[in-house]
Each structure stands twice: as C-alpha cells, then as structure tokens.
Structure 1
Amino acid sequence: MEQLIARFYELKEIQKQVEDELGALRSKLIDIYAEAGSAEEGDFKLSISYQERREYSDDRLYNSLPDPTLWRLMSRADTGKIASLLKLNVIHEGILEGTYEQKKVPVLRVQKR
C-alpha cells in the first residue's frame, strides 16, 4: 500500500513540474507569436485565438442579485454557476450588467501536421 501512495505522490510531483514547464512555454510562445496569430515551424502548426471570458466582482454581483439566497448557492462569483443560473432562467442577463469585466484570454493550439 505504501508503494501505491509513494507512486501517486511521485506522479503528482512530475505532473506539477510538467504543468509549470507547459505554462512557461505557453507564455513564451504567446509572446513570440501573438501578433502573427499563427505560424508553421517544421512539422508543427501553431495558432493563437482569443476567448472572451467574464470576470465577476463578488461585491457587485451580490448587490445585483434579486434574492440573497441565490448568493448562498454560489458563495462567490463562479462563472459556471452563473451560466447555469442564466440557462435555467433563475436570473437574467440584465441584472448582471456592470458586475463583470470582459477579458480576452489567449488560447494556444499546437498541432503536428
């Protein structure tokens, strides 16, 4: 049993190192190719697109909700839960006005040809 736990720990450490290196490489590639938006290097094709994401303010969102019990469902501004409440028509888009900022987030894709 101890071997299983030790292997799990070892793999989690490796995963953390890989994620850190991927993050650093992602940042460098975005810095280098951001203006071009895409590139082909050897056998690889790189593309950068942008997604718009909402970053909600906890205070502004809390103050805009019509029912304080809705806040207890979320406990913080969680975009997934907010999207679900919108989809279920529990809240409507109008009450969210001014509670978030739109952010453009780069999405990096690298494919092998």
Structure 2
Amino acid sequence: MEKKVQQYYRLKQKQKEIEKELADLRQDILSYCSEQGATEAEIGSYKVKLVTQNRKEYDDLKLYETLSDPEVWRMLSKSDPAKVASLTKLNVISEDKIMHTYSLKTVTLLQVDKK
C-alpha cells in the first residue's frame, strides 16, 4: 500500500507540473495569436483556434434575494451557473427575473488540432 501512496503522490506532483506547463504554453499561444490579430492560425502541422465565450458569474446575495421561493434556492444551495442554467431552461426560473443577478465574463478557449 505504501508504494501505491508513493506513486499517487508522485503522479499528483507530476500533474501539478504538467498543469503549470500547460498554463504557460496556453498563455504564450494566446499572446502570439493576439500579437498577430488572429483567432485562427496554422502553425507547422497544427491548427490553432481561439473561441470566445461569455460566462455568467452570479452574485449569490442578489440571486438569493431574487429567488424568494426557498425550495428553488435549496435546489441551488449556492449559485452554480450550470444549475441556474438548467433551472432556467426548465422554466423553473425566469431569465428576465434573474437578469440583474449576474455579470458576463468573457473567456477565450484554446483549441489545438493536428492537421
């Protein structure tokens, strides 16, 4: 069992290193594309594509005050954007009613595919 714990620890350390390296590479690629003014590029045998998305970031207090039904709030327990989106799609919550409870955050996704 000690070997499994040791291997787990070693892999977690490696995972942290890989995640940091990925974040650094991602930033370098995003900077390059920004300098080029491009959202798509072919670099060597790879195709790079930047996809911009808007994500809602809810204000828990505003959302709680808006959702007067405690049963609905219990379904959320805290403002999880995926849960709020699901309840909105199911017409449990009206989009118009909660419009003031979130701000939009623009995020850029990086896709790299081999040609």
TM over 0.5: yes
Distance of 1:33 and 1:94 partners within structure 2:
37
**What corresponds to 1:81 in structure 2?**
83
- After superposition, the CA RMSD in angstroms is 1.4
Structure 2 gaps of 5+ residues are none
Measured after TM superposition, the shift of residue 50 of structure 1 is 0.5
Three-state SS of the structure 2 residue aligned to 1:96 is: helix
**What corresponds to 2:11 in structure 1?**
11
Structure 1 gaps of 5+ residues are none
Distance of 1:70 and 1:24 partners within structure 2:
41
Residue 50 in structure 1 maps to residue 52 in structure 2: yes
Moved over 4 A (4+): none
Per-residue CA distance 1:19-64 (angstroms, 9 max, x = gap): 1111111122112203211111111111111011111111111111
Identity in percent? 42
Q: Per residue, is there more helix in 1 or in 2?
A: 2
**What corresponds to 1:31 in structure 2?**
31
Three-state SS of the structure 2 residue aligned to 1:104 is: strand
TM-score (ref. length: structure 2): 0.88
How many positions carry a matched residue from both structures? 113
TM-score (ref. length: structure 1): 0.90
